[in-house]
Amino acid sequence: MTGRPSVPTIDISPLVTGDGDRVAVAREIDSACRRFGFFSVLGHGVDPRGVTLLDGLARDFFALPEAEKAEVAMPKGGQAWRGWFPLHGELTSGVADQKEGFYFGEELGPDDGRVRRNLPMHGANLFPARPAGLRAAVLGHMEAMTALGHTLVGGLGLGLGLGDDWFHRHLTARPTILFRIFRYPPEPPAPTGDLGWGVAEHTDYGLLTILGQDGHGGLQVGTPEGWVDVPAEPGAFVCNLGDMLERMTSGAYRSTPHRVRNLSGAERLSFPFFFDPGWDAEVRPALAGEGTAVPRWDGEDVHGLDGTYGDYLSAKVSKVFPDLDANLR
């Protein structure tokens, strides 16, 4: 893709440590959000040993016999919407993905108020008997990603001129936390047609996705200049904006379409973490009139939403696993 732009990598250590020019970093983030809706971050402070441990345990799990993995299959997660799904078990834009995966979320006990309200996608996670360390690794990674999410939206608030506490005050004091581990088997050379995509073209639903990748690329971002590859940079996390940031910025920031195809010739693992508005939050424009009403790739209008983020997310996720839709009713 010679001549096409590249997604920037930003050292966010001043946001993490409080030392250095936080405003300059926030301006870099703001520029990336306005141009790409994507950026990579270094200096994030996440311990690489935890990431390496999680990667190894995830590979151990996916290598298990399918019957054993099915002991924690998503239908057993019920309303909490957690667990494993097999290859081709998830739909994106109506097309079966070339991946298998494991869904997790914030670990909540039966006495949590959100569980007692019977909210979809809230509750306990499903963890397999093997590998024994997966539970601790997943929960530790989600804790680290949640802290990073708060840091990053603080930078977004600074970049937007709203202040570093705006998101906490309005949307993320109690964020909706979702985490996935995906395994993409190697695809044959020169695939054709949408059926070859690991994940077809789509946007994410919430505020911010923080993606960990192994050493194999495959992620592509849609830009006015065409599709751009996002390299799997060692030690970096890829961040992209969701539909709710497009809505609250009135289109100044865009929820950018992206897709995945694994042509590395090897198994590819990815670790997307979704840091989203609280379930009951109503996402309203904070920068009215600043953006432009550019038609979205899917023809939908995120600026005309009515209701809470939970309403929006439930409607979207029910299309991803239509066989489990009854669990959200």
Walk me through the domains of the chain, giving residue ranges and CATH numbers: 12-328 (2.60.120.330)
Q: Calculate mean pLDDT across residues 295-321.
A: 76
Q: pTM, whole model, 2 decimals?
A: 0.92
Q: Calculate mean pLDDT across residues 217-243.
A: 91
CA 303 – CA 305 distance, rounded (Å): 6
CA 175 – CA 184 distance, rounded (Å): 28
Q: Calculate mean pLDDT across residues 294-305.
A: 68
Q: What is the pLDDT of residue 1?
A: 40
CA 236 – CA 39 distance, rounded (Å): 10
CA 127 – CA 273 distance, rounded (Å): 17
Whole-number percent of the chain with pLDDT over 90? 66
Say yes or no to pLDDT of 151 above 50: yes
Banded model confidence at residue 306, pLDDT cuts 50, 70, 90: confident
Say yes or no to pLDDT of 207 above 60: yes
Q: What is the pLDDT of residue 61?
A: 98
Q: Calculate mean pLDDT across residues 254-259.
A: 90
Higher pLDDT, 217 or 199: 217
Work out whether strand 95-96 and strand 199-202 pair parallel, antiparallel, or are unpaired: unpaired
Q: Lowest mean pLDDT of 87-96, 149-158, 248-257, name the range.
A: 87-96
